[in-house]
Every structure is written in C-alpha cells, then in structure tokens.
Structure 1
C-alpha cells in the first residue's frame, strides 16, 4: 500500500468514527452522508487489507489495527492543521519542497507539471497564503510555505509510522529507526544499544546519520530523523524539541603519547599557562565542549588561547594530535582504543564541575512506535551500565 493512495477526508472520518463510536456522528463531522462515510471506510479498509472497526448494535468498536492507526491519523491531522488540505496537495508541496523545482517534483512523483502547479495554487488559495515564489529559473518556498511543508513532513511521518505498525501487526516487519549521532554517542553508547536492540528485532532497519548538532538538528525537526543522540544543550533554544539525559561525561585534556606536557605533573586543574602555550583543536563556537573549554580559562582570569583548527570530527582530531603537539578536550570513551594503543595520552582531568550531559533529543510532538520506544529503553539501559 502507498500513502498517496489514501484520502485525507476519509482518514478524518475514520478518526471521528473512533472518537464517537458512531457512523452517523462521524458523517456529520466531515460533512458526508452516512452512505458516503460507509463507502469511505470500506475503501480505506480495502487499501489497508484489514478491518478497522467491528460493527455492533451499540456502535463501532475499533480493532487492534485501528488502535494503532487512529492515533497516527489524529497526530497527522494536527500537523496538517486545515480541513482544506487534500492528499494530492500535500504530496505536491512536499515534492516541490524536496526537489526545489516543478520539473524535479514531476520526476519524483510522476505527476505532470501542470497538475503540480494547480495543486500548489489551490493549496495557496485554500490556506490564504503564498507558498512558493519563482525567482529567475528557480522556485523557492516562502517563509509560510516552509512552515506548512514542515507540518506536512511531520504528518507524513505519522501516517507512514501507522502503516508500518499495521504491517508489523500482520507479521511483515518494515519499521525503521533513523538516528542522528553526534560524535560522543558513536563511541560506546549508541553502538551497544543498537547491537542490544537488534538481538530482539533483527528485521527492524536502523539508519545512523553522523554529524554535528548543527548538521542534524533541522533534519530532526523536519522528521527526517527520529531522534538525535549526543551532548545536550542548556538551555534548549528550540521550543519544538525535548531532551532526556542519559549520563554525565567528564572530558579530559588529550595530547599525543610522548607530548611534552605528559611528563609534567600539572595537578587536577592543570597549569593553564602551560596549556595555553600549545595550539588547540576544538569544535566550533556554541558546542558544549567549546563553551566548557572557554569557561576553563575565563574562570582563571585568562583569555583562551587561539583555536588553530575547528573540528568536531574525532578522526580528524586524532590524526592532528598524533602528528603534532596540539591539545584538545575529549571524552575517554571517544579515544579508548587510541589510549590503549598508546597513540594518545590524557594530560589532565578537568574539575568535576566541567561536565556535560549526554542524552537524547526528540521532537516534542514525537510519538515513538513500539520498536522506537524499545530502542530508547535500550539506550537508557546501556547508559546506566545494565
């Protein structure tokens, strides 16, 4: 079954049937006759290949399939936000947003360019706002168009999750989890949680997108990612996101094995004047590790030394350290192999107050599927050492 085979008005009707337990009341809610809503339900059940309601003398009773699908329909409709949106219009705007042109959207969907133009125009009229503008030979979404497209993406994610849950109910596992992984999460916790989860669910597909928070946060907000694992932000600036802490990490000052500072007893807080004599490689401004590094010097009344290289890649940092006298801050988990191989060395610990919370970031509106909820539980268990 394909998402685009469904009719949004019919899906609204199904949500109302579940809410009211009555075909007649649901028909009034979507302005359809009772025979029309009966046909809408029958058509949707035919596409799904399953029964959504049991017809009883006292009303319509949802089946287990409806219990899985209806909450997803309700969430999707909330993201869409208007009864004037049809599935064709939703599909057209998403295709245009993804492709950046009507020609690209046509190639992606197989729909004709005139039909896409008409769908976008009708959607703009029904929502009473311009959604796309043409500049030279390119098409751009307006600010309002981008907001609408984000809501449509999240609606699509909800509906696709509901359909995947129904397939799993029939024994056909098509569910997937898409994870954004920041550098620290890739060292220990995330791989261990994935391995633990797949022992129970070998057919669930897992995709891991690696990057910095700046690279991952918009895909998370748009629904491309289900969750993001890494250093948390305090305060969290995005009002549509939520954070859950997993564990606290205390970074250490790291250099190559044999670095001149390795032979010195710097003490717990370190001799910052000695540390400032060397070049540093650090993540860019705004990263928690960079903020921590700046605070370490500023609390001692010193200006931080220049950062000669900005990078959040542990692989890049490792190679720079091995080949030079650069210093950096990293978690022991991130360089466990390098420490064991005697390629890198810990120059000094930081005071306990310099620690960062590592955890999971999700959309505030996110409703995890059953397997996504299980994966979150595995993340928490691994982080707790269970």
Structure 2
C-alpha cells in the first residue's frame, strides 16, 4: 500500500526549495550550485531530504543530467511563485512563519499559543528577519504589536507564498492518488441564495475528501483576505470600477432586484410609483455597495428626493425580520427571500426600472493559478449561473 506522508510547508527548508528550482532550470547539481552559491554536497543532501518529505522523486537522475519528474513539473512553478513573493534569499521558513503568525495574532503571546512556538523563538525570528530585510516590520502597541506599512506588505507577500506552496502540496498529493486540501470561498450576500449552495453540493459529491470553507461577509470584509491569499475566490456582486489591477472579476449572471416589503404593506397590492415608494423608510446596504448605488440612481434619475434610510444593513436575515415587523422597504433579489415570499411573510411590492441590474460573478487575484481541484469547483459555477 502506498503511504502518502503528511507534509506541512513549515517543515520545508527554503534553501532546499531554491536548490530544486535551480536544478530544474539548469539540469545539473553542479550548475545549480554555482548559480545559488551552495555546495554540491549540501544541494544533494537537501534534495534528498525534500524528496523524502514529499514521498516522491522530483528528478529523474540520468547520465545527461537531472530531468524533472511529473511531480517536479507540477511543484517547481509553485516554488518559483512562492520565492518570487518572498523576494530575498536571506529569508528562512522559520522567519516567514513567525511574521505570518504575529501578523495574524497581533501579539507574540497569541502567536505562540497559535503556533506552539516559544515566544523567545518568535521574537528572535522576527528580529532576524528585520535585520535580513533591512526594514522595520513591527512596532509595539501597548501589550501587543502592530505591523508597520512595510511589515504589512511583507506579511501579505509571505501569506501569498504560503498559499502557493500549499497549492503545490495539494497537487502533489493528487498525483499520488489522494485529493487533499481545501477551497476557501468568500461569500457575499447574493451568492448564498442559490449559486454557491448548488456549486458546493455538486462539488462535494464528486470530491468528498476536499474541505470547503465558506467565509461570509461584505465585499470590504473579504477583499483584503482575498489579496492575502487566505481566500481563494469571492462570489457576489462585482464592483465598477474594478478594485485594482491585482483583482480579476468574471461575470456569471445578471440580477435584477425588486422592491420587497411585508405582505400587508400599505404599498402592496397595487402598482406603486417611485414617488409613492419614496414616502416610506428604507433599509439598504451602506454607501459604496452596488445595491446602494443603484438604489440612489433609481430615484435620482427621476429627480425624486431620496427616501430616508434610518437603517443601513447588508444582512438578509436582519433585513427580513425588520421588514416583517415594520413598513420598511428594501431592494433584494427574489432568490434571497424565496422562502419568505412563498410563505407569505414578505411580498414583492414593485418592479424597478429595467436599467437597474447587478452583475454577479467571481472575484479572484489576477495572478491566482487554481489547482486542478479548485479549477473543478470554478467550472461548476458557469453552468449553474445560467440557470440562476
């Protein structure tokens, strides 16, 4: 029986990873040794240890050189991407782990509890990293620490390096015949109504061993974790303009919200004009969201003064309960309150102007390269979106 080792990226030696990539480029240990200034015996030992950790060879040893195996061809681009994020041969894996942990925990004591590493070791690793990179990374804030601007940029790059190596490990394990890893999806409100649950259910049927982690939140809560590599992709309303050149948005379908209120709302059961709807209080997400922008434009295009918005909220569960117990109105996709509409707790009060649509889609980092398993999940979204 094939024994597949359990590997954590923190057990890797970055020098060994650099050596593997150098051999893959040059085809020989001697050329790699000259290129990265490490002795041939040290490289030989390092590659042997790395292959033992992975449980499979990265090279085919031949008389004419070292040829990457299928595992090497998969893993080396991930290593190169990780090293490009780290951007310094002086960084060690211990230092990378320490900064990522302190950035996440906000203190050395919490980072120690989270990783199991001793506080003095974390202090020393971050201090050595500061010297190696010649930049101040953290500063004390009361009982905790905070990252400097340079520290935040460095921590982000380190997290992206970690994500690349974890993706590489997932691909190597799949090569040995066992799927591992996880997909982390940022779920904005509309995605939770139909398309995401359907995609998750379909994916789990075909990939039962893959963990799916769904992180719910608004766009502004999810975009930075996406940039950090903590989230693989986001599904929900797309932004116009785009959040930046590092972000890629892929439309999946168009959604046209409707005006929703309680079943016996005063504006129900007849064609209410926008002027009439403007007389009632509204509950709408905060400024800057596509729904709020469209809601504002809907009234401004008719030169109607904006209604009062005493409550700003993006939680469908909270909005639903407020609507049931008041004369508030809101804009929602019928899919988001399908159960409430069918039960008769809420009602569709009015259609909105035809020009008001939201583009719903997938948001990823521009440089994100999904694993085969992640690509399978993404491939499920397009056909499901056509039926949304």
TM over 0.5: same fold? Answer: yes
TM-score (normalised: structure 2): 0.95
Which deviates more from structure 2 when the two are superposed, residues 285-294 or residues 252-261? 252-261
Aligned to 2:350: 348
Task: Write out aligned runs for 1:24-173 (5 A).
Answer: 24-173=30-179
Tell me the equivalent position of 2:285.
283
Residue of 219, 229, 233 corresponding to 1:223: 229
Query: 2:280·2:308 contact (CA, 8 Å) conserved in 1?
Result: no
> d(CA) in 1 for partners of 2:116 and 2:317?
42
2:136 is paired with a residue of what secondary structure?
coil
2: CA distance between counterparts of 1:200 and 1:109?
A: 33
Residue 331 of structure 1: aligned partner: 333
What root-mean-square deviation, in Å, do the aligned CA atoms of Structure 1 and Structure 2 show? Answer: 1.5
* C-alpha distance 314-32 of structure 1, shift in aligned 2 (>3 A): same
Residue in 2 aligned with 1:314?
316
Cα distance, 1:241 vs. partner?
1.5
Distance apart, 1:3 and its partner CA: 1.5
Q: Is the 8 A contact 1:165 1:175 kept in 2?
A: no
Which residue number in structure 2 is paired with residue 360 of structure 1?
Answer: 362
Supply the distance in 2 between the matched residues of 1:28 and 1:302 (Cα, whole angstroms). 73
Conserved in 1, the CA contact under 8 Å of 2:298 and 2:353? no
SS for the counterpart of 2:311 is: strand
- Report the counterpart of residue 295 of structure 2 in structure 1: 293
1:82-128 Cα distance to aligned partner (Å, 9 max, x none)? 11111111111112112222222223333333322222122111111
Q: 2:244 is matched with which residue?
A: 238
Q: Return the offset for 1:339.
A: 1.7
TM-superposed deviation, 1:75: 1.0
1:261 alignment partner, SS class? coil
CA deviation string 1:14-49 (max 9, x = no partner): 112122222222222211122221111111111111
**Matches of 1:170 and 1:88, distance apart in 2:** 28
Q: Give how far 1:223 is off.
A: 1.4
Q: Is the 8 A contact 2:102 2:111 kept in 1?
A: yes
CA distance in 2: counterparts of 1:40 and 1:30, whole angstroms: 13
Q: State the Cα deviation string for residues 54-101 of structure 1 (Å, max 9, x = none).
A: 011222221121122111111111111111111111111112112222
Instruction: Provide the aligned length of Structure 1 versus Structure 2.
Output: 382
Shift of 1:190: 0.6
Deviation readout 1:173-215 (Å, 9 max, x if unpaired)? 3221011101100000011111111221111111111111122
Alignment match, 1:380: 382
Measure how far apart 1:291 and its partner are: 0.4
User: Shift of the alpha carbon at 1:385?
Assistant: 2.8
Contact 1:184/1:331 (<8 A) preserved: yes
Task: Assess if the C-alpha contact under 8 Å between 2:108 and 2:144 holds in 1.
Answer: no
TM-score (norm 1): 0.95
Q: What is the rounded CA distance, in whole Å, between the counterparts of 2:282 and 2:114 in structure 1?
A: 46
Distance, in Å, in 2 between the alignment partners of 1:247 and 1:119 is 48
Tell me the distance in 2 between the aligned counterparts of 1:114 and 1:186. Answer: 44
Kept after mapping to 2: 8 A contact 1:180/1:227: yes
**Partners of 1:193 and 1:379 within 8 A in 2:** yes
Q: Is the 8 A contact 1:284 1:311 kept in 2?
A: yes
* Candidates 173, 187, 190, aligned match of 1:184: 190
Q: Provide the C-alpha distance between the structure 1 equivalents of 2:248 and 2:27, rounded to a whole number of angstroms.
A: 34
